[in-house]
Amino acid sequence: MIPVKIQCGCGQRYAFEIEPVGGRMSSSVACPVCGADGTSAANEAIAFTLSVQLSQPRSSREMVMLLAVLGCLVAGLAGVVKALNMTGGFDVLLCLLGAIGAFGLALCVYFWRR
Ligand SMILES: [Zn+2]
């Protein structure tokens, strides 16, 4: 159910809750004072409410951030492990730099979202 508030042309305000069907009113609605049809206004209100809800998927966005941080940490750890298994000097240095970069990216993402 989403709340719908309508300001009628006659100045009357009325509100109700509706379970939208396909993002629209499932039945028509009329102003309780003058009887003017408020269905199209209600459809606009529903579309607005739904778009606001869609643009703020707060929990899923935090989930993506968490996954990004975890991914960077895993990449950093993989770089360290790879560096430890190497014998050469320059490759180890490159791997460690990559690992440090991955850790830094993870920290940046983590603090940036706060
Ligand atoms: Zn009215």
User: Ligand 1 centre and the CA of 30: distance in Å?
Assistant: 8
pLDDT at 86 over 90: no
Cβ neighbours of residue 58 closer than 8 Å, sequence gap 6 or more: none
Higher confidence at residue 73 or residue 43?
Answer: 43
Q: Which residue has the tokens 């719908």?
A: 4
Report the run of H or E that residue 14 belongs to, with start and end: strand 13-18
User: Ligand 1 centre and the CA of 29: distance in Å?
Assistant: 11
**For 5-41, what is each residue's pLDDT tens digit?**
999 999 999 999 999 998 899 899 999 999 999 999 9
pLDDT at 59 over 70: no
User: Ligand 1 centre and the CA of 80: distance in Å?
Assistant: 70
Q: Select from 68, 99, 66, 69 the least CA-distant residue to 82.
A: 99
Q: What is the pTM of this model?
A: 0.49
CB 73 within 8 A of CB 107: no
pLDDT at 92 over 80: no
pLDDT at 79 over 70: yes
User: Ligand 1 centre and the CA of 82: distance in Å?
Assistant: 72
User: Ligand 1 centre and the CA of 5: distance in Å?
Assistant: 13
User: Ligand 1 centre and the CA of 87: distance in Å?
Assistant: 81
Q: What is the pLDDT of residue 114?
A: 58
User: Ligand 1 centre and the CA of 14: distance in Å?
Assistant: 9
Q: What is the pLDDT of residue 19?
A: 92
